[in-house]
């Protein structure tokens, strides 16, 4: 069971992460960027021939400085077998360079007991900081839904207040929609940049978890949604994306088509993503903040 004071004050070591232009290109390719190799908007993320390229996809910040599977530690009190990724928020303070050495600093910011049968949420922040200059590139807020850990506050009464519900994605005809196909090997490509969980690569592990085959990383779907937003509203200029939030609602199987439906309200774009073949919403309550 979760020990609130211990988990709330969990000490994370700083994580140093050096990445290169090749890593930046590899990440973009893993999101399907370059599927049209004559599209100049896509090429600036995956081609290093033109001076000043490649540009880094903004969502690359979510994979930098990975803290490891720290929730597996028995001292957390978390039932690791029952956790799922709940929500992700990216706030971009300065665009990522094509290559750098960064320091990632993590901290627990919220632990919410939803009730004995409803699980708990554990939210932690990550600051992505340039090692040499101290420049803060991005803050990433990651929320895990710990399905087996509800009711931990019964004895102590210690729990954090839940945040306000995110703005609901509108119904009706979207202002814009884009369909982006994934490749059968998409998860195998993405894992070279990030999460090596065998759920995304090993059929036996996926079957044991209740899936018909390995699933795509949720953060890959999140990155694909960012690509749709950049292409539709930003002229593929990564400097215009300032904030990106989404809730994960269902998995994607590699090879499926992701349809991103967007509703613009001034500088905000609300969105959802669904798998076209199964008409299943996989990202919901999406919200992106754009600069002019």
Question: Which tens digit of pLDDT belongs to each residue from 128-176?
Answer: 999 999 999 999 999 999 999 999 999 899 999 999 999 999 999 999 9
Render pLDDT for 83-107 as a digit per residue (tens, 0 to 9): 999 999 999 999 999 999 999 999 9
Which listed residue (142, 149, 160, 200) is catalytic?
A: 200
Q: Could you confirm whether 127 is annotated as catalytic?
A: no
Average predicted confidence (pLDDT) for the chain: 97
Task: Give the bridge partners for 205, in sequence order.
Answer: none
Beta bridge partners of 270: 263, 287
Q: How far apart are CA 54 and CA 147, in angstroms?
A: 40
What CATH fold (topology level) applies to the domain 176-290? Thiol Ester Dehydrase; Chain A (3.10.129)
pLDDT digit string, tens, across residues 270-281: 999 999 999 999
User: What pLDDT score was predicted for residue 195?
Assistant: 86
DSSP assignment of 52-112: T-PPPPGGGGGTTT---SGGGSGGG---GGGEEEEEEEEEESSPPPSSEEEEEEEEEEEEE
Q: Does domain 4-146 have CATH number 3.40.50.150?
A: no
> Residue 198 — pLDDT band, cuts 50, 70, 90?
very high
- The Cβ-side half-sphere exposure at 232, using a 13 Å CA radius, reads 24
84 contacts 145 by C-beta, under 8 angstroms: yes
The string of pLDDT tens digits covering residues 200-235 is 999 999 999 999 999 999 999 999 999 999 999 999
Six-digit token string for 190: 């993405």
Per-residue pLDDT band for 72 (boundaries 50, 70, 90) equals very high
| Residue 219: partners with Cβ closer than 8 Å, 6 or more residues away | 59, 62, 63, 85, 88, 194, 195
| Catalytic annotation, pick one of 23, 127, 149, 195 | 195
Q: Where in the chain is the domain with CATH 3.10.129.10?
A: 4-146, 176-290
Q: Is 113 a catalytic residue?
A: no
User: Which residue matches tokens 């903040």?
Assistant: 289
Length of the chain: 292
Burial 78-102 (b: 16+ CB within 10 A, else e): bbeeebebbbbbbbbeebbebebeb
pLDDT of residue 52: 86
């Amino acid at each position: 069971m979760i020990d609130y004071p211990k988990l709330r004050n969990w000490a994370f070591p700083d994580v140093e992460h050096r990445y290169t232009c090749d890593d930046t290109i590899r990440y973009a390719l893993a999101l399907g960027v370059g599927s049209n190799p004559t599209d100049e908007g896509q090429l600036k993320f995956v081609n290093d021939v033109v001076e000043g390229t490649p540009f880094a996809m903004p969502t690359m910040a979510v994979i930098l400085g990975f803290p490891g599977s720290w929730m597996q530690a028995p001292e957390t009190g978390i039932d690791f077998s029952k956790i799922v990724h709940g929500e992700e928020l990216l706030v971009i303070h300065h665009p990522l360079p094509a290559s750098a050495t960064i320091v990632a600093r993590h901290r627990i910011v919220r632990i919410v007991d939803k009730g004995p049968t409803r699980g708990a949420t554990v939210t932690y922040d990550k600051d992505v900081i340039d090692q040499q200059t101290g420049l803060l590139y991005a803050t990433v807020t990651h929320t895990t839904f710990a399905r087996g850990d509800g009711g931990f506050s019964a004895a102590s009464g210690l729990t954090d207040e839940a945040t306000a519900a995110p703005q609901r994605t509108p119904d009706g005809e979207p202002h814009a929609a884009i369909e982006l196909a994934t490749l059968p090997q998409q998860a195998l490509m993405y894992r070279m940049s990030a999460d090596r969980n065998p759920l995304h690569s090993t059929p036996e592990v996926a079957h044991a978890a209740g899936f018909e085959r390995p699933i795509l990383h949720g953060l890959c779907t999140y990155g694909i949604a960012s690509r749709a937003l950049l292409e539709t509203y930003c002229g593929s200029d990564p400097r215009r994306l300032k904030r990106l939030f989404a809730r994960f609602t269902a998995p994607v199987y590699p090879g499926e088509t992701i349809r991103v439906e967007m509703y613009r309200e001034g500088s905000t774009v609300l969105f959802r993503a669904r798998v076209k073949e199964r008409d299943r919403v996989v990202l919901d309550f999406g919200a992106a903040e754009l600069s002019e």
